[in-house]
Amino acid sequence: MVYTATHTTRYIYQQPVSHCLNEARLTPRRLPWQQVQQWRLTVEPEPLTIATRTDYFGNQVSSFSIFEPHDLLTVTATSVVSVEPLPPQPDLSPAWEEVRRQLATQETSDCLEAFEFVCDSPFVASGPDLAAYARPTFQAGRPLLDATRELMRRIHAEFKYKPKSTEIETPLQEVLEKRQGVCQDFAHVMIGSLRSLGLAARYVSGYLRSGGKYQGAEASHAWVAVFIPGAGWLHFDPTNNVAPSDGHVTLAWGRDFTDVTPLKGITLGGGGETIEVEVRVAPGAKL
């Protein structure tokens, strides 16, 4: 599939901002199954400077500065991306306890690299409540892949997708108790449950094809990648109970949302602000 993804963010300020410094993680990753054919970032007002770099996790970051008064900031990232179907997930995997042991002992270079995704992160701290939520699924000796699929299905069935019911600062414990939220909450719950059992999971940000049957389209989306020795990182979308494939466009990944925030920055002035976000992912190359 070839898609044109348009992601527009508007910051509407109550008072003029004299200057601002921003970072955007809005460039799709180049992956074996995903190629970026074209990409463009448009910022209004026009930045004084704009630069790109690659962060610790391999995500492309665009940094820009505006040093003129403005009460509206509009940032639009437009991408043309080709996405191939991912190979079917394997039928077999080691028992989850064996994977936990391999991660803890870091007996291979892949396990050593994945181990940092076992550790707590700013928005996802492991804990007994998350472990208790996962335990009914992770019975003794159960293959990790089989248990992870069931955990994904459970979150999809037991949590209500409810836009505007949470904010990014909403504690994970509250999401777990109220059983509602949006895709980033579903991803954080799944990651926290896996990490609480000593397993490695990371947060993936991206897009869904617009107008489809999935929840989370028309906005930034989030899902989970889980490390399985011998298979690498396999992807799971608990919001929609699917294994991501050519209907998902990958932007960035990290420990949790803080590592992949699409747009963030600091401003001088502005007072209060209103944020509007529009995402459209349409078939075809239309840049």
Q: What is the strand order of the sheet 221-228 is part of?
A: 232-236, 221-228, 201-208, 248-254
In this prediction the pTM is 0.95
pLDDT over 90 at 212, yes or no:
no
Joined together, the tokens standing for residue 179 give: 């059983």
Q: What is the mean pLDDT of residues 132-147?
A: 97
The residues with which 39 forms a beta bridge, in sequence order, are 79
β-pairing, 248-254 vs 232-236, is: unpaired
Q: What is the mean pLDDT of residues 7-25?
A: 95
pLDDT over 70 at 144, yes or no:
yes
How far is it, in rounded angstroms, from Cα 287 to Cα 285?
6
Q: What is the CATH number of domain 2-84+261-283?
A: 2.60.40.2250
What pLDDT shows up at residue 211? 73
Q: What is the mean pLDDT of residues 161-172?
A: 91
pLDDT > 90: percent of the chain: 87
pLDDT over 70 at 287, yes or no:
no
Main-chain dihedrals φ then ψ at residue 29, nearest 5 degrees: -75, 150
Lowest mean pLDDT across 90-94, 112-116, 183-187, 238-242 = 90-94
Give the residue extent of every domain in the chain: 2-84+261-283, 96-244
pLDDT over 90 at 219, yes or no:
no
How far is it, in rounded angstroms, from Cα 87 to Cα 155?
24
Residue of 254, 232, 235, 192 lying closest to 109 (CA atoms): 232
Over residues 116-131, the pLDDT tens digits come to: 999 999 999 999 999 9
Q: What is the mean pLDDT of the chain?
A: 94
What pLDDT shows up at residue 213? 78
Beta strands in the chain (DSSP E): 2-24, 34-44, 49-54, 60-66, 70-83, 160-161, 180-181, 201-208, 221-228, 232-236, 248-254, 263-269, 273-283
Q: Quickly name the fold that domain 96-244 has.
A: C8orf32 fold (3.10.620)
The residues with which 49 forms a beta bridge, in sequence order, are 65
- 8 A C-beta contact, residue 207 and residue 249: yes
Which residue bears the tokens 């980033």?
184
β-pairing, 160-161 vs 180-181, is: parallel
pLDDT over 70 at 199, yes or no:
yes
pLDDT over 90 at 286, yes or no:
no
Q: What is the mean pLDDT of residues 249-272?
A: 94
Which residue bears the tokens 């299905």?
153
H or E segment at 134? Answer: helix 128-134
pLDDT over 80 at 54, yes or no:
yes
Joined together, the tokens standing for residue 264 give: 């963030």
Over residues 25-49, the pLDDT tens digits come to: 999 999 999 999 999 999 999 998 8
DSSP 167: -
